[in-house]
Amino acid sequence: MTVQRIHPSILSADFVNLERELERIRTADFVHVDVMDNHFVPNLTMGPPIVERIQAVSPIPLDVHLMISDADRWAPGYAELGAASVTFHAEAAQDPVALARRLREIGAMAGIALKPGTDPEPYLELLPEFDMVLVMTVEPGFGGQSFMPDMMPKLGRLAEARAKHGIELRLQVDGGISASTIGVAAEAGADTFVAGSAVYGGVPEDRIAELRAVAAAH
């Protein structure tokens, strides 16, 4: 049976009360931390000092999603500060395989993220180098956008390639995941679900339980 994981995104949390906001998602598997540099995406969030503090107080492991240029320079630092998983965008690394190896060497899981317009084909043969592939189901940059169902064939393609390699690889979806979209993503092969507005838009632990239940039914 597939293990399904719910990763609330703290992009939708109250940034002035992050420690309290982390307490509200104790039942989550990982906390998804969106790092944006106003260069790779048209928005700006946080960098290493804040992520380091989140790491220090978080009761659950961190899943850091880097939406930054020059991932080669910055990604290893997030692994070094203790993030359990570090994901960078395919276009942001000069040599994605070398960077993934570096992250794994430091002790983090290595993830590669694909924007809606990014073709997965060049990465299919490289999947054993990664622990996770993140399929964006919105254009990266902002929470609260609508889920793009036309990304499901991409997930299917990745799930097929994962089976061919016979590897353990997490397939993560990020963007517009809610109780009404998570089922479609689970059916297409996703097992790791990021949800920002859907979780923090209600009582987080109730929303997490609901997402889990709907995903499990697929």
| Minimal distance, residue 11 CB to ligand DX5, in Å | 4
**How far is the C-alpha of 47 from the C-alpha of 183, rounded, in Å?**
33
Task: State the binding partner of 197 from Zn ion, ligand DX5, none, CB within 5 to 8 A by kind.
Answer: ligand DX5
Task: Spot the catalytic one: 29, 34, 63, 191.
Answer: 34
Closest by CA position to 167, among listed 134, 133, 127, 114? 127
Site track 148-177 with Zn ion (rule: CB under 5 A), x = hit: --------------------------x---
Sheet holding 31-36, edge to edge: 5-8, 192-195, 170-174, 132-136, 109-114, 85-89, 62-67, 31-36
Q: Is 65 annotated as a binding residue?
A: yes
Q: Is 165 annotated as a binding residue?
A: no
Closest by CA position to 63, among listed 7, 113, 101? 7
In terms of CB distance, is 122 or 144 closer to ligand DX5? 144
In terms of CB distance, is 161 or 210 closer to ligand DX5? 210
**How far is the C-alpha of 30 from the C-alpha of 9, rounded, in Å?**
9
Is-catalytic flag, 174? yes
Is-catalytic flag, 72? no
Task: State the binding partner of 8 from ligand DX5, Zn ion, none, CB within 5 to 8 A by kind.
Answer: none
The residue whose two tokens read 């064939």 is 153
The contact set with ligand DX5 (CB under 6 A) reads 9, 11-12, 32, 34, 65, 138, 140-145, 174-177, 194-198
Q: Is 119 annotated as a binding residue?
A: no
Q: Are strands 62-67 and 85-89 parallel, antiparallel or unpaired?
A: parallel
- Single out the residue of 65, 89, 115, 154 in contact with Zn ion (rule: CB under 5 A): 65
Angle at CA of residue 181, ends 179 and 182, nearest 5°:
70
Residue 116 vs residues 89, 125, 151: alpha-carbon distances, Å: 11, 20, 7
34 binds Zn ion (CB under 5 A): yes
Q: Is 206 annotated as a binding residue?
A: no
What are the binding residues for a divalent metal cation? Answer: 32, 34, 65, 174
Contact residues toward Zn ion (CB under 5 A) are 34, 65, 174
Q: What positions carry a catalytic annotation?
A: 34, 174
